[in-house]
Amino acid sequence: MRDLLGRIAKMPVSIAVILVWIAIWILVSCNKNALPQLEGKGISQIGNQNYRFFTAGLTHTNAIHLLANVCAMFWIGFLYEHRIGSIRFLIIAVICAVLSQVLFLSIYRNAAEALADLSTPMLCADLD
């Protein structure tokens, strides 16, 4: 158990990314205006809002999507972050996140329409 905790302590970037994903999911769940400010809109609509290439990768459509990504990040971080170092791991993670959004937003030139059928997180739905 101590060895497991020691390895987890050696993956600060993975843990930070997971915590950011959870925080953004809670924010988007509780604030209907937050998601449109973060999500990708498609290459044809993005204009000068280039930050969306990064922030869209931090959003999740529902709890299962979030849980799957948390599990994947935990295990990828568990296996690789301590081997290549946290800085390199962070650089690779950011590059992969941005490239995946560039690819997605290029394929779906109007991502707002492509994503219209997906539900937003429902964590705070009862608060309205």
Overall pTM > 0.85: no
Please state the domain count of the chain.
1
The whole-angstrom separation of Cα 37 and Cα 22 is 17
> What type of residue is 109?
R
- List the structure tokens of 19: 């915590």
Give the pLDDT of residue 8. Answer: 76
Helices (H), the chain: 2-9, 12-30, 34-38, 52-55, 63-84, 86-107, 111-114
Question: Does residue 75 register a pLDDT over 80?
Answer: yes
Which region among 7-11, 40-44, 49-53, 116-120 has the lowest average model confidence (pLDDT)?
116-120
- List the structure tokens of 21: 């994903």
To the nearest 10 degrees (0 to 180), the angle between helices 63-84 and 86-107 is: 140
Range of the domain at 95: 2-127
